[in-house]
Amino acid sequence: MRKKLVGSAIVAAVALTAGTVVAVRRGRAASVVVAPGPIHETIIAQGTVVATAGTAEVRALADGRVLEVEVREGDHVVAGQLLARLDTAEIDAAIARADAERSIALAELRLARAGGRSEERRAAEAALDGARAAMALEETRAARDTELERKGAVAAAVADESRQNAVVARARVARAEAERSGTLRGRPEQVDAARARLAAASAALAAATARRERSVVVAPVAGVVLARHVDAGDGVIPGSALFELADPEAIEVLIEIEDVDAMRVSAGLEVTITSLGGRIEIARGAVDRLSPRLERRTIGASEARMRAETQVRSGWVRWDGAAEQPLPIGLRVEARVLLPARVVEARVPRGAVKIRDGRASVEVPHYGLLADERTVVLGTADAQWVEVQGIQPGTQVVGGAP
């Protein structure tokens, strides 16, 4: 029994000695004083590299089949450079027809100015009869196709075309009537009708020529081809996206600041642009401008770690000088926005705070070599300092200088 008691006493003495050594080491460790001071808080925002002037989407202005594509992704282009060309065989035929009709109208105007003859009146009557017969045929066809469209027997495009042909036929009858009236009523009316025909033919020629010009796709701005959505042989319609262009040398970073921090950020604040996770510093810059409204998150909205429903405020960051390597448009980055210094009533170096089981504490030396543990509540922090509550300013705590 006595041996057991002696053994327990030895173990307790050893433990007490070890605890004393730890206390002595803690008591002798460097200490700092809890005191007021500034804290430079940082806000981390998700960002992406964008073109300063935006991205130009080149869309088709005419329908047709693509004959050739002259550029690929990554190619540098200048404004007005050929990007693609559409098949213009049908358009060329329309131009030739419109040009011929204009020539006929011009000749008719000359004849009208010279005065009408009996042969012209007979020709006008015959033309009117022919136009009326054609109109009757087109109206019958349009009525039939409209009924078939209602029953689902023909496509809507076919019925639309039939109705449009009927409209054209009625216009031709009106023109033929005007021509006949010109031959019957005398020279002034005939001249007016000829002038109208010439104007219509000229307008048709101009429209066909403009359509041909729209069949040649050119670069609206200088830049680099970011994307190409069309290949030779593809069929396109007006509005089809063909290319995306941007200037890769004029870039900035679009950041999204969460709503809780939206009012804390202002133009001019320093920003450090890093890779995702903050491991690699890419560039340093400043907030250039901020959006006046909050909107849905777009950067990383599909990622599980992001709160997609959060409202964010957009901002744009420009940096001084060039980055170590060119930044591709669309690169995901993080922006660390340095807020203005805020003076707190009590702060300690980050190394002085211990976190155990989710509880923060600091050690206060006393009795020369020993130290007590004090629970504290943490506030804002920066890379060196952390705000603490629950301990009086002027108190010494164990912890090295920041």
Task: Look at residue 288 and tell me if it is in a domain.
Answer: yes
Predicted model pTM: 0.58
pLDDT at 14 over 50: no
Same-domain check for residues 135 and 207: yes
DSSP 191: H
Same-domain check for residues 242 and 193: no
Tokens coding 295: 């909107």
Task: Look at residue 222 and tell me if it is in a domain.
Answer: yes
Same-domain check for residues 285 and 316: yes
DSSP 263: G
Structural domain ending residue among the three candidates 202, 231, 246: 246
Strands, E assignment, 40-113: 42-51, 56-59, 64-69, 76-77, 82-86
Same-domain check for residues 176 and 325: no
Same-domain check for residues 309 and 320: yes
Same-domain check for residues 163 and 152: yes
User: What percent of the chain clears pLDDT 70, i.e. is strictly above it?
Assistant: 84
Say what the pLDDT of residue 100 is: 85
Is residue 216 within 8 A of residue 77, CB to CB? The reply is no
Say what the pLDDT of residue 26 is: 43
What does the pLDDT look like over 353-377, one tens digit per residue? 999 888 999 888 876 567 788 899 9
Can you give the CATH number for the domain in which 80 is found? 2.40.50.100
Say what the pLDDT of residue 292 is: 93
Say what the pLDDT of residue 89 is: 80
Q: Please, is 354 exposed, middle or buried when counting C-beta atoms within 10 Å of its C-beta (0-12, 13-18, 19+)?
A: middle
Full residue range of the structural domain in which residue 156 is found: 89-214
Same-domain check for residues 205 and 99: yes
Q: Place 400 in a pLDDT band, splitting at 50, 70 and 90.
A: low
Same-domain check for residues 82 and 231: yes
Say what the pLDDT of residue 36 is: 93
Q: Place 11 in a pLDDT band, splitting at 50, 70 and 90.
A: very low
Same-domain check for residues 65 and 128: no
Q: What is the average per-residue pLDDT within 268-279?
A: 90
What does the pLDDT look like over 59-80, one tens digit per residue? 988 888 999 999 999 999 999 9
pLDDT, greater one: 333 or 31 = 333
Nearest-angstrom CA–CA distance, 328 and 326: 6
Q: Place 49 in a pLDDT band, splitting at 50, 70 and 90.
A: very high
Q: Angle of helix 156-185 relative to helix 118-151, nearest 10 degrees? A: 160
Task: Look at residue 21 and tell me if it is in a domain.
Answer: no
pLDDT at 13 over 80: no
Same-domain check for residues 165 and 112: yes
Beta bridge pairs of residue 368: none
Same-domain check for residues 69 and 163: no
Structural domain ending residue among the three candidates 214, 235, 266: 214
Number of domain units in the chain: 4
**Given its phi and psi angles, is residue 296 left (phi above 0), alpha (psi -120 to 50 degrees) or beta?**
beta
What does the pLDDT look like over 200-217, one tens digit per residue? 888 888 888 888 888 889
Same-domain check for residues 221 and 82: yes
Task: Look at residue 20 and tell me if it is in a domain.
Answer: no
Task: Look at residue 4 and tell me if it is in a domain.
Answer: no
Can you give the CATH number for the domain in which 391 is found? 2.40.420.20
Tokens coding 82: 């050929």
